[in-house]
Chain A
Amino acid sequence: MENKGLNKVDLIFEKINPKEVLQKAFNMTSTEIIQDMLDSGLKGRGGAGFPTGLKWKYTAAEKSQDKYIICNADEGEPGTFKDREILDRVSTKVHGGMAIAGKAIGAKMGIVYLRGEYRYMLPKIMIELKDFHKMIHEIGYDFNIEYRMGSGAYICGEESALFESIEGKRGEPRNKPPYPTVSGVFGKPTSINNVETLVTAMMIINHGAKNFIQYGTKDSRGSKVFSVSGDTPTPGIFELELGMTVQQFVNEFGDGDTKAVQVGGASGFCVPRKKFVETIIGFEGVPTGGSMKLFNSSRSMYNVLHNYLDFFAEESCGQCTPCRVGCQQLLKGIEKVKKGEVKSTYLTELTKLADTMKIAAKCGLGQSVGNAFKSIVGNFREEIIY
Chain B
Amino acid sequence: MIKLTINNQNISVEPGTTVLEAARKLKINIPTLCNHDDLCVAGNCRVCVVEQTGARTLIAACAMPVSEGMDIHTNTLKVRNARRHIVELLLTEHRADCTKCYKNQNCELQSLANEFAFGDTIFLDLVEDHDYAIDSSSPSFIKDDSKCIRCQRCVRTCEELQYISAIAVANKGAHQKISSFHNRPMSHVVCTNCGQCVNRCPTGALVEKTAIDQVWDAIYDPEKHVVVQTAPAVRIALGEDLGYEPGERVTGKMVNALKQLGFDSVLDTDFTADLTIMEEGTELLTRLKKALVDGDKKISLPMFTSCSPGWIKFIEHKYPEYLPNLSTCKSPQQMFGALAKTFYAQKRNLDPSKIVSVSIMPCTAKKFEADRPEMRASGYKDVDYVLTTRELAVMIKQAGIDFMNLEEAKYDSIMGDSTGAGVIFGATGGVMEAALRTAYEIVTGREVPFKNLNITPVRGMDGVKEATVKIEGCLEEWKFLEGAELKVAIAHGLVNANEIMRQIKNGTGNYHFVEIMACPGGCLGGGGQPIPTNAAIRKNRMKAIYSEDEHMVLRKSHQNPEIIAIYKDFLGKPNSKVSHELLHTHYVERDHF
Interface of A toward B, CB cutoff 8 Å: 153, 155, 170, 172, 175, 177, 312-322, 324-329, 332-333, 336, 342, 349, 352-353, 356, 358-362, 367
- Are A319 and B89 neighbours in the complex by a CB distance under 8 Å? no
Residues of A within 8 A of B169 (CB): 170, 172, 318-319
- Are B171 and A175 neighbours in the complex by a CB distance under 8 Å? no
Residues of B within 8 A of A155 (CB): 172
Q: How far is the CA of A316 from the CA of B176 in the complex (A)?
A: 9
Q: Which residues between 148 and 196 of chain B lie within 8 Å of chain A, taking CB atoms?
A: 149-150, 152, 168-169, 171-176
Which size bracket describes the interface of B in this complex?
Answer: 35 or more
Instruction: Give chain A nearest CB distance to B63 CB in angstroms.
Output: 4
Residues of B within 8 A of A327 (CB): 173-174
- Are A367 and B86 neighbours in the complex by a CB distance under 8 Å? no
Q: How far is the CA of A300 from the CA of B373 in the complex (A)?
A: 65
Residues of A within 8 A of B42 (CB): 319
Instruction: Give chain A nearest CB distance to B509 CB in angstroms.
Output: 28
Q: How far is the CA of A172 from the CA of B168 in the complex (A)?
A: 13
Q: How far is the CA of A322 from the CA of B46 in the complex (A)?
A: 8
- Are A324 and B174 neighbours in the complex by a CB distance under 8 Å? yes
Q: How far is the CA of A332 from the CA of B126 in the complex (A)?
A: 9
- Are A329 and B150 neighbours in the complex by a CB distance under 8 Å? no
Contact residue among B41, B57, B129, B174 (Cβ-Cβ distance under 8 Å from A318): B174
- Are B45 and A329 neighbours in the complex by a CB distance under 8 Å? no
Contact residue among A177, A313, A352, A367 (Cβ-Cβ distance under 8 Å from B173): A313
- Are A153 and B124 neighbours in the complex by a CB distance under 8 Å? no
- Are B124 and A314 neighbours in the complex by a CB distance under 8 Å? no
Q: How far is the CA of A322 from the CA of B84 in the complex (A)?
A: 11
Asked if B123 lies at the interface with its beta carbon under 8 angstroms from chain A, I say yes
Q: Which residues between 84 and 99 of chain B lie within 8 Å of chain A, taking CB atoms?
A: 85-86, 89-90, 92-93
Interface bits B42-56 vs A (CB < 8 Å: 1, else 0):
111111010000001
Q: How far is the CA of A154 from the CA of B457 in the complex (A)?
A: 53
Number of A-B contacts (CB under 8 A): 119
Residues of A within 8 A of B49 (CB): 359-360
Most chain A CB inside 10 Å of its own CB: which residue of B56, B58, B89, B175: B89
Q: A336-B124, A349-B122 are in contact. Are A359 and B57 (CB under 8 A)?
A: yes
- Are A321 and B45 neighbours in the complex by a CB distance under 8 Å? yes
Asked if B13 lies at the interface with its beta carbon under 8 angstroms from chain A, I say no
| Residue in A closest to B170 when the chains form the complex, CB atoms | A170
Residues of B within 8 A of A312 (CB): 173
Cross-chain pairs A/B with CB under 8 angstroms, 5 sampled: A316-B176, A318-B172, A318-B175, A320-B45, A359-B78
Q: A153-B172, A313-B174, A326-B89 are in contact. Are A175 and B150 (CB under 8 A)?
A: no
With contacts A175-B43, A321-B89 known, what are 16 further pairs, Cβ within 8 A?
A313-B174, A319-B44, A321-B47, A321-B86, A321-B90, A322-B46, A322-B86, A322-B89, A324-B174, A329-B89, A329-B124, A349-B123, A353-B123, A358-B57, A362-B43, A362-B44
- Are A322 and B129 neighbours in the complex by a CB distance under 8 Å? no
Interface bits B567-582 vs A (CB < 8 Å: 1, else 0):
0000000000000000
Residues of B within 8 A of A315 (CB): 172-173
Residues of A within 8 A of B124 (CB): 329, 332-333, 336, 342
Residues of B within 8 A of A177 (CB): 64-65
Q: How far is the CA of A320 from the CA of B93 in the complex (A)?
A: 13
- Are B172 and A320 neighbours in the complex by a CB distance under 8 Å? no
Q: How far is the CA of A324 from the CA of B515 in the complex (A)?
A: 44
Q: Is the interface of B mostly helix, strand, loop or mixed?
A: loop
Q: How far is the CA of A326 from the CA of B64 in the complex (A)?
A: 23
- Are B89 and A362 neighbours in the complex by a CB distance under 8 Å? no
- Are B172 and A316 neighbours in the complex by a CB distance under 8 Å? yes
- Are A318 and B150 neighbours in the complex by a CB distance under 8 Å? yes
- Are B129 and A356 neighbours in the complex by a CB distance under 8 Å? no
Instruction: Give chain A nearest CB distance to B64 CB in angstroms.
Output: 8
Residues of A within 8 A of B286 (CB): none
Q: How far is the CA of A310 from the CA of B174 in the complex (A)?
A: 10
- Are B172 and A321 neighbours in the complex by a CB distance under 8 Å? no
- Are B171 and A318 neighbours in the complex by a CB distance under 8 Å? yes
Asked if B60 lies at the interface with its beta carbon under 8 angstroms from chain A, I say yes
| Residue in B closest to A356 when the chains form the complex, CB atoms | B85
- Are B173 and A325 neighbours in the complex by a CB distance under 8 Å? no
Q: How far is the CA of A314 from the CA of B92 in the complex (A)?
A: 18
Residues of B within 8 A of A332 (CB): 124, 126, 129
Asked if B81 lies at the interface with its beta carbon under 8 angstroms from chain A, I say yes
- Are B82 and A328 neighbours in the complex by a CB distance under 8 Å? no
Instruction: Give chain A nearest CB distance to B82 CB in angstroms.
Output: 5
- Are A325 and B92 neighbours in the complex by a CB distance under 8 Å? yes
Q: 3 nearest interchain CB pairs?
A: A318-B176, A325-B89, A175-B63
Most chain B CB inside 10 Å of its own CB: which residue of A177, A359, A360: A360
Most chain B CB inside 10 Å of its own CB: which residue of A313, A321, A333: A321
Residues of A within 8 A of B129 (CB): 328, 332
Instruction: Give chain B nearest CB distance to A162 CB in angstroms.
Output: 15
Instruction: Give chain B nearest CB distance to A308 CB in angstroms.
Output: 13
Q: How far is the CA of A328 from the CA of B126 in the complex (A)?
A: 8
Q: How far is the CA of A321 from the CA of B86 in the complex (A)?
A: 7
Residues of B within 8 A of A320 (CB): 43-46
Q: How far is the CA of A72 from the CA of B511 in the complex (A)?
A: 50
Residues of B within 8 A of A360 (CB): 46, 49, 57-58, 82, 85-86
- Are A324 and B58 neighbours in the complex by a CB distance under 8 Å? no
Instruction: Give chain A nearest CB distance to B181 CB in angstroms.
Output: 14
Residues of B within 8 A of A326 (CB): 89
| Residue in A closest to B90 when the chains form the complex, CB atoms | A321
Q: How far is the CA of A8 from the CA of B523 in the complex (A)?
A: 72
Q: How far is the CA of A143 from the CA of B570 in the complex (A)?
A: 77
Contact residue among A172, A321, A352, A362 (Cβ-Cβ distance under 8 Å from B81): A352
- Are A329 and B57 neighbours in the complex by a CB distance under 8 Å? no
Residues of B within 8 A of A324 (CB): 150, 173-174, 176
Residues of A within 8 A of B47 (CB): 321
Q: How far is the CA of A333 from the CA of B129 in the complex (A)?
A: 13
Q: Which residues between 111 and 130 of chain B lie within 8 Å of chain A, taking CB atoms?
A: 122-124, 126, 129
Q: How far is the CA of A342 from the CA of B123 in the complex (A)?
A: 11
Residues of B within 8 A of A356 (CB): 81-82, 85-86
| Residue in B closest to A171 when the chains form the complex, CB atoms | B172
Residues of A within 8 A of B45 (CB): 320-321
Q: Which residues between 406 and 452 of chain B lie within 8 Å of chain A, taking CB atoms?
A: none
- Are A325 and B126 neighbours in the complex by a CB distance under 8 Å? yes
- Are B173 and A314 neighbours in the complex by a CB distance under 8 Å? yes
Most chain B CB inside 10 Å of its own CB: which residue of A315, A324, A349: A324
Q: How far is the CA of A358 from the CA of B176 in the complex (A)?
A: 21
| Residue in B closest to A177 when the chains form the complex, CB atoms | B65
- Are A319 and B82 neighbours in the complex by a CB distance under 8 Å? no
Q: A356-B81, A360-B85 are in contact. Are A329 and B123 (CB under 8 A)?
A: yes
- Are B57 and A367 neighbours in the complex by a CB distance under 8 Å? yes
Residues of A within 8 A of B41 (CB): 175
Residues of A within 8 A of B86 (CB): 321-322, 356, 360
- Are A361 and B46 neighbours in the complex by a CB distance under 8 Å? yes
Instruction: Give chain A nearest CB distance to B155 CB in angstroms.
Output: 10
Most chain A CB inside 10 Å of its own CB: which residue of B43, B57, B124, B176: B124
Q: A175-B63, A177-B65, A324-B150 are in contact. Are A329 and B92 (CB under 8 A)?
A: yes
Q: How far is the CA of A322 from the CA of B81 in the complex (A)?
A: 12
Residues of B within 8 A of A342 (CB): 124
Residues of A within 8 A of B149 (CB): 321
- Are A321 and B82 neighbours in the complex by a CB distance under 8 Å? no
Q: How far is the CA of A170 from the CA of B175 in the complex (A)?
A: 15
Residues of A within 8 A of B89 (CB): 321-322, 325-326, 329
Residues of B within 8 A of A153 (CB): 172
Residues of A within 8 A of B126 (CB): 325, 328-329, 332
Residues of B within 8 A of A175 (CB): 41, 43, 60, 63-64
Q: How far is the CA of A325 from the CA of B122 in the complex (A)?
A: 13
Residues of B within 8 A of A318 (CB): 150, 169, 171-176
Residues of B within 8 A of A359 (CB): 49, 56-58, 78, 82
| Residue in A closest to B122 when the chains form the complex, CB atoms | A349
Residues of A within 8 A of B150 (CB): 318-319, 321, 324
Q: How far is the CA of A317 from the CA of B175 in the complex (A)?
A: 9
